[in-house]
Amino acid sequence: MATNRITSFIKALNIDPDVGLSKRYAIWKKNKATLWYYPSKNKKYKEPIYLIYSIVNKPYILDLGPSMSLIEAFSLAGYDTYLIDFGIPGFEDRNMSMDDYITKYIHQGFKRAIRHSGEEEFTVIGFCLGGTLASIFAAFDNNHIKNLILAVSPIDFASFPDYDKWLDALKNQEIQIDEIIDKAGIVPPEAIKYGTRLIVAPVAYGHYLALLHNATKDKYIEKWSRMNKWTLDHIPVTGAAFKQIMNDWIRDNKIVEGGLTVYDELIDFNNIKSNLLVFSTMHDPLVPSSLCEPIMDLVSSEDKQFVLFEGGHAGLVAKNHMPEPMEIWLKEHSTEL
Amino acid sequence: MAQVTIDFFELLKKGGNLLQYRLNNSIKKNLNQFSLIDFTGSKTNPLVNRMNHIQKFTEQMTNYMNLPTKTDIANTTQLIIQSEEKIDQLDDQLYDVSIMLNEIKQILLTQNSGITESYSNSLPVRIAEQEEIIRTLQEELNQAKELIFQQKKHTLSTNTASDQAM
């Protein structure tokens, strides 16, 4: 019995699963980015969904595989879905800033999605840093965003309990990262991977023990191997974007304190009038809920709700259904056909 | 008497997780120290200087060897990306024109008083012709964009291959 378990544990470590299996069509491409369209077989709602994912991971976490895909859940529930996939930046993209991501990719992709769908109103959903980008985008142009959902998206960087001294040093400019980033051009995926690990869990073997414990369950192994693949699959971040995250978002906390600009245009989060759902999870050392909740006070949306879920950073989206409060909220805020 | 089954692997998981939690807390506490911050701060400038020297040396060497540098390839790719952006802008403008033409056609269909009958009949035909031209142009732009995309891929893969060979 124990031998079987260990054999299947070793086998599971060597699985390279296929991910992103939902039927999709590329409707626009630019540089490395692609706007994907996932049609719903039984479209029930007028407003399509526009997904924005983080720039440090690959977005296939939203479509890990059959029955563990949020995108599949959207399609089954009757929503047409679009995903702006930024692709993997290279050294040639070193000058691509957050302003570029917002105006040249998110905004342009959104226009293409409007053009493709023929719909005037959308639900925009942002995950992790993608949610931070989504909120800036919504403040930049709120015209066609009926609903805005931000999932585990950091907004307020005023405090970071585990590394408060590092944050203070960054705020006091005792640590300067600009020159080293300029020299490197891009932040390599390994730096992102180990940086994230330092924040979350410098020593991480718990997931292997969980796999060993569940090594006799095929379903568990399937999900584990997909999730593990994604966890190790970081992408580089362009130097200009990284500097903006570190200097404008974290050091100067401009999203909350004010002064954030996109191509010199001041971003006022008060411009966000869309219906807003913000959700965060209880056990997320990477983006604790204290980093997400302050967006509630920045926007002028009349219909806004903050929900705290049980769970971790990514587990929420790797299921065969939407989180229940999100499903109900989305249904209530979409127009049935 | 009730029998209690102990699952070794569950115990291992729970015990391991507890140890992991404690180890991580200890590591984080030790990393969150001013001495380490000072050390990092003091090493940044020498590292930047070293990177600077290496990059300058490489630039000079590749110049003598008549080879393009990573920056040269990146700059070429930037030009390709700019072409992509221009094509997108043209495509957007064509789309706006086609929307406008469609609106004009709708207006003409509903309010054709005051226009001679032959002119009123020929206008929708002319607009349809313009729309067809725009569609063709949009298709051609998409083809051009695809070609540019392939060219960029080729440029980057050649660069990666030469990087690996070195």
* Predicted confidence band of residue A6 (pLDDT cuts 50, 70, 90): confident
pLDDT in tens, A200-253: 899 999 999 999 999 989 989 999 999 999 989 999 999 999 999 999 999 999
Q: In this prediction, what percent of chain A has a pLDDT beyond 90?
A: 79
* pLDDT reading at B146 higher than 90: no
Between A316 and B92, the more confident residue is B92
pLDDT at A161: 79
What three-state secondary structure class fits A123?
Answer: strand
Mean model confidence pLDDT for chain A: 92
* Predicted confidence band of residue B166 (pLDDT cuts 50, 70, 90): very low
- Helices A108-117 and B70-110: crossing angle in degrees, nearest 10, is 40
Question: Which of B23, B40, B74 is the closest to A91 by Cβ?
Answer: B74
Provide, as residue numbers in chain A, all residues whose Cβ is less than 8 Å from the Cβ of B98.
none
* Predicted confidence band of residue A300 (pLDDT cuts 50, 70, 90): very high
> Is the ipTM of this structure higher than 0.95?
no
The burial class, CB within 10 Å (0-12 / 13-18 / 19+), for B151 is: middle
CB atoms within 10 A of CB A6: 12
* pLDDT reading at B165 higher than 50: no
Can you say whether residue A298 is alpha, beta or left, with left for phi > 0 and alpha for psi between -120 and 50 degrees?
A: alpha
* Predicted confidence band of residue A156 (pLDDT cuts 50, 70, 90): very high
pLDDT in tens, B97-128: 888 888 887 777 777 655 666 666 677 777 78
Report DSSP state, residue A267: P
- Rg of chain B (C-alpha set): 33
pTM for this model (two decimals)? 0.89
pLDDT in tens, A253-277: 999 999 999 999 999 999 999 999 9
| Average pLDDT over every residue of B69-85 | 89
* Predicted confidence band of residue A64 (pLDDT cuts 50, 70, 90): very high
Question: Which of A174, A183, A204 is the closest to B55 by Cβ?
Answer: A183
Token digits of residue A79: 């929503």
Which residues of A have a CB under 8 Å from any CB of B?
A: 5, 29-31, 90-92, 94, 104, 108, 111, 115, 162-166, 169, 174-177, 179-180, 183-185, 198, 201-206, 209-210, 212-213
Are B78 and A210 an interchain contact pair (Cβ–Cβ within 8 Å)? no
pLDDT at A285: 79
Token digits of residue A88: 């993997």
Using the structure block, give the residue that is written with the tokens 């192994």. Answer: A221
The count of C-alpha atoms lying within 13 angstroms of the C-alpha of A192, restricted to the half-sphere facing its C-beta, is 20
- In degrees and rounded to multiples of 5, residue A84 shows phi and psi of -90, 110
Are A250 and A158 in contact by the 8 Å Cβ rule? The answer is no
Token digits of residue A225: 């191997």
Q: For residue A307, what are the β-bridge partners?
A: A279
Question: Minimal CA–CA distance to A153: which of A256, A47, A35?
Answer: A256
- Helices B34-64 and A164-171: crossing angle in degrees, nearest 10, is 60
Q: In this prediction, what percent of chain A has a pLDDT beyond 70?
A: 99
The count of C-alpha atoms lying within 13 angstroms of the C-alpha of B138, restricted to the half-sphere facing its C-beta, is 15
